[in-house]
Amino acid sequence: MSGILSTFRNVTDARYLFYMVAPWEFSNFEKPEDVPPYLEAGAPWMMLLILAEMFIDIERYQLNDTVTSICAGLCSMTVKFGGKFLSAALFPIVWQHINIVNMEPGFLAFIINFLAQDLAYYLGHRCIHEAGWFWGFHSMHHSSERYNFSTAIRQGALQDFAMVFFDLGLAVFVSPTSFIAHKSLNILYQFWIHTELVPPLGPLEYVLNTPSAHRVHHGRNPYCIDRNYAATLIIWDRMFGTYAAERPEEPVVYGLVTPVNSFNQLHLQFNEFIYYLFKKPFLKNEDGTDMFPGWTTKLRIMFAPPGEYPGTATKRFFLWHVNVDNEEGIPPIDYSNVTPYHKELHVLSKAYIILNSTALLVIAFSTILSSSSPMKNLDYANTLYILAFMLTTIQSFGYYFDHHYPFNLHFDFARLTMTAITSYLFPHLIQASNLLPYSIVSLAFLSLLFINKRLPGQQQSDAKPHQQ
């Protein structure tokens, strides 16, 4: 009986992906620990929807892109404090010092807190697009040249650090329990809008953020740049002049204006930081003079809109500046030459990647993604052990997908050997009993690939036209 009830409860968890909760559900949250683990409850449903979308149209997916997106999501989940995202961990502390309004739980408080959280997200999201090097916190999410449910999981590992200011300001009138609940549901809602399968939704397009509106946000077409920042309500974009409707006659092409052409996780997470902090301020003109002369100008350009260069007109919005013309300097789309970055792998190499990514997900779901996560109470040794396994495994995939031969082999042998040795010498470590046989099997598989000369990096690229 308890198993059936548990299954029923898990089925109803799917509603969280659509913000389908009643105001009275929040009335029983007396302290932050009482708030249900919405994000953990939604994670299995995200994976199920990804599999369903694959079944409906597998051509929208590539192994390299999908694994990279899922791994980025895992990276963002590892950057947690006490099992919570940064703003949720800090909010109760800040609330004690700046709260001046206490609202009784109920319908009115629910609506006000919902709107406040949604507006805070709009402002924070817009900031990390438009405020110079802050774009580095978020560019990972836009780096995919495909648009499917897995893209929703592709998150910047450090993005919470950039958004925290906008979240903590709500502590003036929002309780910690209400904030954590609405923040979690706000994040979950944004999953289902990452798909090309759902057409424009008629009148709902005027109020809600929909797949059609969010497709525009992910586009690199000139008309898509810096548009549709909303989380759940598109009204903020309409109010502040950042809304753009999808144009059937101009299909959206996804990804960054300058494609990154890599699946290397570290590169994807940090390359924009490097550019806007250490490269752009020191650019030269054709005659060799500084494009941004003087240290004051160099410092200012670090926080200027990413598209600002000499001669670009800007204006102030809130705490930062934005381009007057979002389309300035954005090249038009040449539809005859749109090819997502892709390098083909041999079937044995794909099987090896699938084996390792499956093991990674099993470990993740039993630790950081579990609602009863043991990660919250682990000592430093166990935490380092799990994170070292996860992060090195995630990084290894990029070396395969980008054909970094033979470094991918050397890196993977070192990773698996260290995992096996550590698991054998310290069997008391969490998951050691699972990671020891995993690493032995993976080493055997890796040896088979080497012996048969089927290592990734020996295959030729097999780029396919972008599917609209």
Q: What is the pLDDT of residues 353-383, one digit of tens each?
A: 999 999 999 988 887 766 555 555 677 888 8
Q: What is the CA radius of gyration of the chain?
A: 23
pLDDT band for position 81 (cuts 50, 70, 90): low
DSSP string, 199-243: ---GGGGGTB--HHHHHHHTB-SGGGTT----SSBTHHHHHHT--
> How confident is the model over 397-410, as a mean pLDDT?
92
Provide the pLDDT for residue 205: 98
∠ CA 67-411-383, nearest 5°, is 70
Provide the pLDDT for residue 258: 95
Share of the chain above pLDDT 70, in %: 91
Provide the pLDDT for residue 1: 38
Residue 468 has pLDDT above 50, yes or no: no
> How confident is the model over 288-305, as a mean pLDDT?
97
Instruction: Give the number of other Cβ atoms within 10 Å of residue 354's Cβ.
Output: 12
pLDDT band for position 459 (cuts 50, 70, 90): very low
Residue 200 has pLDDT above 50, yes or no: yes
Computed over every residue of the chain, the mean pLDDT equals 91
* Least trusted range by pLDDT, from 120-124, 283-287, 298-302, 370-374: 370-374
Share of the chain above pLDDT 90, in %: 78
Q: What is the pLDDT of residues 432-445, one digit of tens each?
A: 999 999 999 999 99
Residue 398 has pLDDT above 60, yes or no: yes
pLDDT band for position 318 (cuts 50, 70, 90): very high
pLDDT band for position 4 (cuts 50, 70, 90): very low
Contact predicate 198/210, CB 8 Å: yes
- Helix, strand, coil distribution of the chain in percent, nearest 5: 60, 5, 35
> How confident is the model over 65-71, as a mean pLDDT?
97
Provide the pLDDT for residue 385: 92
> How confident is the model over 380-407, as a mean pLDDT?
93
Provide the pLDDT for residue 453: 59
* Cis, peptide link before residue 427, omega less than 30° from 0: no
Question: What torsion, rounded to 10 degrees, do the Cα atoms 305, 307, 310, 316 define?
Answer: -30
Residue 239 has pLDDT above 60, yes or no: yes
With 0-12 CB in 10 A as exposed, 13-18 as middle and 19+ as buried, what is 150?
A: buried
Amino acid 120 reads: A
d(CA 87, CA 168): 7
Provide the pLDDT for residue 64: 97
